[in-house]
Every structure is written in structure tokens, then in C-alpha cells.
Amino acid sequence: MPGRHEAEIKLRLSEKLRRKIERAAARNKHSMNAEILKRLEDTFGAEAFEITGYAQRYRDQEYLSEIRARMDAFIKSLEPERDE
């Protein structure tokens, strides 16, 4: 049960993405929940929520492009490292 300042959400994701999260969590020695929270906090950190200054400097299209780039980086960070 979530604490007083926590929300519980139901999330659907592909099995492939779930496995990526599971591997990343194991590598970082914490739970899948902690891995997801850390990555979301990193992705949507303070700079993404500085709405007043950020939104005034950029139009909606640039803002959406930035969010897309951050989400792409988040998804890519879940891919396992490859030995080449």
C-alpha cells in the first residue's frame, strides 16, 4: 500500500522492456521499482520541471522534442551493454 505521499499506478509494458528493467535493476543492485523511480527522476529532474522559465524560453514544439529525446535516452539506457 502506498504511503501518504505516494501514488500507486498500474503500468503496462512489453515483456522485452520489463526484462531490460529487471537486468538494469540487478546490475545496480536494487529493486525494479527503485530502478524505474531513479530513471524517471533522472529523466524528469528539476530542469524539466522548471516550467516557468523553460516554457517561456521554448515553444511547445521544442519542448516536445526535448521530452522525446529524453524518453529515447531513457529507453536506450535500458538496453543491455554489448561487448564488441
Q: Report residue 17: phi and psi, to 5°.
A: -65, -40
Q: What is the pTM of this model?
A: 0.50
pLDDT at 61 over 80: no
Q: Higher-confidence residue: 65 or 48? A: 65
Least Cα distance to 38 among 25, 23, 26, 19 occurs for 25
End-to-end Cα, the chain, rounded Å? 44
pLDDT at 29 over 90: yes
Angle between helices 32-43 and 60-77 (to 10 degrees): 150
